[in-house]
C-alpha cells in the first residue's frame, strides 16, 4: 500500500463540521474477480477494461450531490485533491457506476502524477515513492478503496500493482 496520512481538515472548526458532525460512510472497495490481485489496476480503468472488476455496475453515491473531492496524501508531496463528478450525463442524470468511479479516480491519479513529476520531493522523503519519469507511474498502481474522510472528501487508497524497476 502507498503509505498515506489520513486527510484531515486544517482547522478545528472544519474538523468538527466536516468530520465529527458527519456520519462517514463505509469505504468503497475495488476488488477484482482474480483473488491473487489486490485492488483494480488503474491502467485497466483508464482503458475501460472492467471485465474483472467486481460489482462494476453497482451505482455509487446514490444520495449525493454532483461531485466529490478525491484526496491523495502521497508520501513526499503536498496534499492534493481534485473534484470528480458523481452523476453520469444521461437524461435524467443518475449516479455513476463503480466502473465509472474507478475511471474517474484513475484520471485523477494520472493528473496527480503529471503535476508532481519533476517536482522536488519534500526533504527527508523516501525516494522509493517518487512519482513520474524514473519513479512510480500510473501503470504501476491499483485502486484498493476510497475512504470517506470528510463530508465531501474521499481518499484514494492505492497499492503497487507491479514491481517498479
pLDDT tens, position by position, 64-102 = 789 999 999 999 999 999 999 999 877 777 899 999 999
pLDDT tens, position by position, 44-65 = 999 999 999 999 999 999 887 8
Q: Single out the residue of 80, 68, 85 nearest to residue 18, CA to CA.
A: 68
Dihedral sign from CA coordinates of 67, 71, 115, 52: negative
Query: 24 forms bridges with which residues in the sheet?
Result: none
Task: Tell me: pLDDT of 163 over 80.
Answer: no
Task: Tell me: pLDDT of 145 over 90.
Answer: yes
- CA 3 vs. chain centroid, Å, equals 13
pLDDT tens, position by position, 123-138 = 999 999 999 988 999 9
ω into 92 cis (within 30 of 0): yes
Rounded mean pLDDT, 149-157: 96
Letter string b/e over residues 118-147, b meaning 16 or more CB atoms within 10 A of that residue's CB: eeebeeeeeeebbbeeebbbbebbbbbbbb
pLDDT at 132: 94
At residue 161 the predicted structure's pLDDT band, cuts being 50, 70 and 90, is: confident
Q: Residue 104 phi/psi, 5° resolution? A: -65, -40
pLDDT at 165: 40
Judge contact between 5 and 125, C-beta under 8 A: no
CA distance 63 to 41: 27
Query: DSSP assignment, residue 25?
Result: P
Q: Single out the residue of 158, 145, 161 nearest to residue 31, CA to CA.
A: 145
> Kind of pairing, strands 153-160 and 141-150?
antiparallel
Dihedral sign from CA coordinates of 93, 97, 99, 103: positive
Amino acid at each position: 500500500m502507498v503509505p498515506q496520512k489520513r486527510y484531515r481538515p486544517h482547522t478545528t472548526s472544519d474538523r468538527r463540521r466536516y468530520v465529527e458532525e458527519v456520519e462517514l460512510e463505509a469505504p468503497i472497495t475495488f476488488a477484482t474477480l482474480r483473488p491473487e490481485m489486490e485492488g483494480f489496476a488503474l491502467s485497466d480503468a483508464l482503458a475501460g477494461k472492467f471485465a474483472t472488476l467486481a460489482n462494476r455496475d453497482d451505482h455509487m453515491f446514490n444520495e449525493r450531490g454532483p461531485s466529490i473531492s478525491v484526496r491523495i496524501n502521497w508520501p513526499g508531496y503536498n496534499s492534493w485533491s481534485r473534484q470528480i463528478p458523481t452523476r453520469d450525463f444521461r437524461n435524467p442524470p443518475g449516479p455513476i457506476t463503480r466502473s465509472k468511479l474507478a475511471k474517474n479516480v484513475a484520471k485523477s491519479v494520472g493528473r496527480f502524477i503529471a503535476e508532481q513529476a519533476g517536482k522536488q520531493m519534500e526533504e527527508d522523503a523516501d525516494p522509493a515513492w517518487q512519482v513520474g519519469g524514473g519513479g512510480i507511474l500510473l501503470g504501476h498502481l491499483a485502486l484498493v478503496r476510497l475512504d470517506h474522510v470528510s463530508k465531501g472528501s474521499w481518499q484514494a487508497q492505492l497499492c503497487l500493482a507491479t514491481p517498479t524497476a
